[in-house]
Structure formats: C-alpha cells, structure tokens
Amino acid sequence: MTEPRNFDAVAEQWDEEPRRVKLAGEIAAAIQEGIPLSGDWDALDFGCGTGLVTFQLAPFVHSITGVDSSSGMIERLTAKIATAGVSNVSAKLYNPDTAELSAGRYHLITSAMTLHHVKDIVPLLASFKALLHPGGRIALADLETEDGSFHEDPTGVFHHGFSAEELSDMLRKAGFSAVSIETATTIVKGERIFPVLLATATSC
Ligand SMILES: C[S@@+](CC[C@H](N)C(=O)[O-])C[C@H]1O[C@@H](n2cnc3c(N)ncnc32)[C@H](O)[C@@H]1O
C-alpha cells in the first residue's frame, strides 16, 4: 500500500524539466482539439501543479482555477500568476482529506497526469460532476496502462495508468455521458514510449 507523494519538494524545479513543459502543451492542444473552448467558460484544473496546463488554457476561457493538494505547487503557481500579471487565473490549495473540492460552478474541469495519484477515482469524478453546470465538460489526461516502469519512485502512485475501458467505466459510473477516449500524445523515456490518453465526457 502506497501513501500520498509529497510534491512540495519538487515544485520549485518542476518547470525546469523540458519534457513536462512539452507534455503540458501537447495535453492542452489535445483538450482544445477535443472540446471547443469558450471565452465565457469558467474552468477548473485539478492537480494543476505549477499551472503548466492551466496557463495554456487560460487565454481561451473566462477564468481558470488551479487546484492542487501540494502547498509547494500552489505557492509556485501563485508566484507565476503574479509575475505574468494575468487576471483570469487563480490558485487554490485543496486538502483531499478534509476539504470540499471547491466552491463554485464550472463549465469545464481538466486534469493532467494527476488521476494516477488519486486512490479512489469514482468519488472524485462524482464530485467533479457536482461542480459542473448541466452540459459541462470534463477532460482528463493520464497514462495508458503501463507496467509500473513510468515512475522511478512508486510513492503515491495508486494506478499504473488506465485502460480506455477503465476510464470509460469510471466516468459512466460517476454519471457522465458522451464519453470519448483518444490518445493525446506519448511520453518517451529512454527506450520506452508511454501513451497518454485523453478522456472527455459531458455532465448531463
Ligand atoms: C504529475 S503532477 C501533474 C501536475 C500538472 N497537472 C502538470 O501537468 O504539470 C500531479 C499533481 O497532482 C497533485 N495531486 C496529487 N494528488 C492530488 C489530490 N488528491 N488532489 C489534488 N491534487 C493532487 C500533485 O500535488 C501534483 O501537483
């Protein structure tokens, strides 16, 4: 049994890894391809980290709130918001053990490379659904099922990726419809190639 990973220690250097920046750009592009974004929309980026995906989507929505359980990540995102001087991005610390996910209602909830760090996913997806306006959209990017070799440190890795069937089942169990799963991009690590799936769905 693993325990949650402490992302605080890596927050300051998170954006210095070019592979992460590239991946975030590719995931954001896949989200935009899968879902036509609207400048009227309020969005929430769950497990936002330092906001690599959050910032990519911000120009195309009315507002976007980055939510993360790591205070280090949220501090880094808060500093980046101040430096960039953007007014439609906000950062919010979330304690999965004690707090409600977020107040507010959203038209879009995104998440990139975070679901595999969450033990119980269906309740989380149900809480996403409760936060969405009727007809609101969800876009979740994560590893396709892998053999456990993606992470050198297995701490806080609750799932070795997901199959398209697993993602579809979990989304339907949480009450989503119009579920679609695509391969968004791939991550190359040495000689290994790890596909990243993008699941999109609608809250009815
Ligand atoms: C692999 S990082 C991805 C960060 C960012 N989405 C990106 O693409 O750069 C996973 C993030 O999920 C956050 N996280 C892990 N478990 C979480 C939970 N239960 N609730 C909220 N955030 C969580 C971590 O703190 C970390 O910032």
| Tens digit of each residue's pLDDT (9 = 90 or more) over 28-46 | 999 999 999 999 999 999 9
Q: Which residues of 30-42 are buried (b: 16+ CB within 10 A; e: fewer)?
A: bbeebbebeeebb
Find out whether 61 and 41 touch, Cβ atoms under 8 Å: yes
Nearest CA to ligand 1 atom 17: 69
CA angle, residues 65, 70, 74, in degrees to nearest 5: 45
Q: Mean pLDDT of all residues in the chain?
A: 95
The pLDDT confidence band at residue 2, using thresholds 50, 70 and 90, is confident
The predicted structure's pLDDT at residue 1: 58
8-203 maps to which CATH number?
3.40.50.150
Nearest CA to ligand 1 atom 4: 49
Q: Give the mean model confidence (pLDDT) for residues 126-141.
A: 96
Nearest CA to ligand 1 atom 13: 47
Question: 141: part of which helix (H) or strand (E)?
Answer: strand 132-143
Residue 24 Cβ < 6 Å to ligand 1: yes
Residue 54 Cβ < 6 Å to ligand 1: no
The predicted structure's pLDDT at residue 94: 92
DSSP string, 96-136: TTTS-S-SS-EEEEEEES-GGG-S-HHHHHHHHHHHEEEEE
Residue 196 Cβ < 6 Å to ligand 1: no
| Tens digit of each residue's pLDDT (9 = 90 or more) over 44-87 | 999 999 999 999 999 999 999 999 999 999 999 999 999 999 99
Find out whether 27 and 200 touch, Cβ atoms under 8 Å: no
Find out whether 80 and 12 touch, Cβ atoms under 8 Å: no
Give 186's strand partners. Answer: 195
